[in-house]
């Protein structure tokens, strides 16, 4: 069952857990651990333009920055053509729009609790880091 994450929504609910130097990267790292443990794929949407040197994938996680579009619209579009998706959002309008499409909806609060549990259970996987460094955007010349 693939997961679609409203990344900005999850960041807003995560509190101090993801308020470090780069909370979006930290969230993607946690999502990679989650995807590996659940043996699934994850697509994480963030509102706004893509920052420099941000990978579009990390392990089984794909990252989408929406640019001028709203993440809500892209999330609804993404799940419109399939079945079995799990959408993570606390946005009631998004939940209402996707709920009749054979899609499960999980609140951001419940998902953050699951991420915390995943983090305690799973050490970082070297394969995720290898995938991260395989993206040229993540390599810098020193």
140: buried, middle or exposed (CB in 10 Å: 19+, 13-18, 0-12)?
exposed
Q: Tell me the domains of the chain and their CATH numbers.
A: 3-128 (3.40.50)
Distance CA 55, CA 70 (A): 20
Proportion of the chain in helix, strand, coil states, percent, rounded to 5: 50, 15, 35
- Mean pLDDT in runs of 10 for the chain (142 residues)? 93 72 86 91 94 87 94 92 88 89 90 81 63 68 48
Query: What does the alpha-carbon distance between residue 39 and residue 2 come to, in Å, rounded to a whole number?
Result: 9
pLDDT of residue 139: 65
């Amino acid at each position: 069952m693939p997961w679609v994450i409203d990344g900005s929504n999850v960041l807003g609910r995560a509190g101090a857990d993801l308020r470090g130097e780069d909370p979006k990267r930290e969230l993607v790292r946690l999502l990679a651990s989650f995807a590996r443990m659940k043996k699934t794929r994850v697509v994480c949407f963030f509102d706004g333009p893509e920052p420099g040197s941000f990978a579009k994938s990390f392990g089984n996680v794909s990252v989408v920055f929406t640019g001028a579009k709203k993440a809500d619209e892209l999330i609804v579009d993404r799940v419109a053509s399939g079945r079995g998706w799990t959408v993570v959002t606390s946005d009631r309008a998004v939940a209402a729009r996707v709920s009749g499409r054979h899609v499960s909806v999980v609140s951001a609060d419940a998902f953050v609790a699951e991420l915390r549990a995943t983090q305690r259970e799973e050490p970082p996987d070297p394969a995720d880091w290898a995938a991260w460094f395989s993206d040229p955007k993540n390599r810098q010349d020193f």
